[in-house]
Chain A
Amino acid sequence: MGLLSKKDTALITDPLTDNNPITIQVLGICSALAITAELKASLVMGIAVLFVLGVGNVVISLMRNIIPSKIRIIVQLIVVASLVIIVDQVLKAFAYELSKTLSVFVGLIITNCIIMGRFEAFALGNGPWRSFLDGIGNALGYAVILIIVGFFRELLGSGTLFGIPVLGDSIEKTGVYAFGYENNGFMLMPPMALIVVGIIIWVQRSRNKALIED
């Protein structure tokens, strides 16, 4: 890529794998457990965080030299809160049903540790372009895990993907249900999201020995 230098590319690709905010830094677990029962909700949540973190990082980065460090947390909160309200209003206007599913968790993006973490750790010390890339990278890393977890939970828990039945009809007993297959109700419960995230962490660490701390 000519557009991005090697260092800039790493800003986007690192959080996807070896420095993933969920599986390595274990941040933003709350929403990852709560809303991943459906793939659609996971995807929208990922996009929402992508917007908030991408724009927020740029805003904070632009203001980084004029924010008095004593009140920087308040300033950061105001920036996130305004962005989250935008997301919330857009969702309510164009995807009302979905915004009801996500309910309070859109608002709780404000408290998502990943966002404040990136503001503090990156945007306050780097230029807007690099901050933007960092925000996009981390939000993508978050979204990827959400989508993987959402995929397995919706597929095994409800037998659907994006609400479309892919395993057959569970009431009419078609598809795999004809052979006696049944949906796994445990998959729809938050504890199972924790276990799925745990399995992802397990797989990731067994593939990359450098991540094993001991």
Chain B
Amino acid sequence: MGLKQNLHKFKEKNKNKKWIPAFNAIHTFLYLPNEITHNGTHIKVADDLKRTMNTVIMAMIPCLIFGMFNAGYQHHLALGDIQAVAGSFFSSEFWTMDNFLVGFWKIVPLIIVSYGVGLGIEFIFAIIKGHEVEEGYLVTGMLVPLIVPIDIPLWMLAVAVIFGVVIGKEVFGGTGMNILNPALTIRAFLFFAYPTWMSGDKVWVHGAVERDQMIAAGENLDAVSGETILGVLAQGKEVTHSVSEMFLGFIPGSVGETSTLLILLGGLFLIFSKIGSWRIMLSSVLGAIAMGLIFNGVVDSGWITESSKFYGLMSTPFWHHLIIGGFAFGTVFMATDPVTASQTTKGKWIYGFLVGFISIMIRVFNPAYPEGVMLAILLMNVFAPTIDHYVVQGNVKRRLKRVKVKTA
């Protein structure tokens, strides 16, 4: 008798034990369960929840790998060890083992903490509630390391994950019941709880904070800084990165969100595998462009002059907004979350458009919160059910009218 039979036997024997959901989770991870559904008609498709989640994770892998290289690259660049790659994607200066290892040793702990803590809570809640462990954390666990600054202390990440999973998801009833995107809840918690670790010009490059402390301790070193493009613009300074660098991702930022090119590839992958909604992605880009054009128009007509504190971000060409900051990442991977986004087709257009529209608005008008995408998506998450409600009611009304016309 092999391991498989033994496990099935073990499961039968301990069916009523409290901890059995935890065992089941590992069991179904290893083997297909040998029981079948008992009643009703069922259509079996290959796209179960686990498959869906895995597809999203696969779409994020390029961003993750790139993030590791970029972490090392930014680190060495800031320390002055290497030269800037000047916008060539396959530069041998960038794809070095050295760069990769710096990022690898910083990012792998983030992933381990994110999954370890998050799944631990899922297990605990599954045992308390007596239901099976849900797959919901698989994607969140991968998103979280990609949207935090590289030097975030691990314990802060752990606290935020606990908060995000418990308050953002479990109190509402677990996977599929949450109102807010858990990954963004985690990021928002970090952002408001530990602002010094989530914004400013030190946290985006590995080693900058450390260097700062060494200087404060009296060592004679050059300060290291790596402001994000948004941070630079918000302060009205000159951007030193070229457009191709912004698009390809050779800029400081959260771990996985810098490379618009790879996010675009991930987005196309999601669209073609029919996991992500192209309507939300497209309409959100349209919304961002619309808001960007409005701001550009305001600057062009001379209502805002250089003396205004909004000038830097307002005068940025509208299409730059698409490739700087977390806009692309948020649109592709977070706004499209099927649980928290609008469900109706028309609702998706409205929802996406407002996500893009509001994120650029927050970016420009609130330099204290340069990452408008996070707040915009969270805000629209709250409104998604309302949008759906009115779309459905509109449908109902239109059809009722049609029926009346026919009968009359």
Contact = CB atoms under 8 A, between A and B. Distances in A.
Interface of A is mostly: helix
B29 interface: no
A180 B153 contact: yes
A96 interface: no
Interface string A170-211: 000000000011101111010000010010001000000000
Contact of A186 (B153, B155, B171, B192): B192
A184 B167 CA distance: 16
B19 interface: no
Contact of A189 (B156, B192, B196): B192
A185 B193 contact: yes
A186 B188 CA distance: 10
Given A180-B155, A182-B156, A187 B167 contact: no
Contacts of A195: 167
A149 to B, nearest CB: 15
B194 A184 contact: yes
A136 to B, nearest CB: 33
Contacts of A189: 192
Given A180-B153, A180-B155, A185 B195 contact: yes
Contacts of A185: 192-195
Interface string B164-176: 0001000100000
B89 interface: no
A182 B195 CA distance: 11
Nearest to B192: A186
A16 to B, nearest CB: 25
Contacts of B195: 185
B189 interface: yes
A184 B155 CA distance: 12
A198 B167 CA distance: 10
Interface string B183-209: 000000100111111000000000000
Most A CB atoms within 10 A — which of B155, B159, B193, B195? B193
20 contacts: A180-B153, A180-B155, A182-B153, A182-B156, A182-B194, A182-B196, A182-B197, A184-B159, A184-B193, A184-B194, A185-B192, A185-B193, A185-B194, A185-B195, A186-B189, A186-B193, A189-B192, A195-B167, A198-B167, A202-B171
Which 3 pairs across A and B sit closest by C-beta, in order of nearness? A186-B193, A186-B192, A184-B193
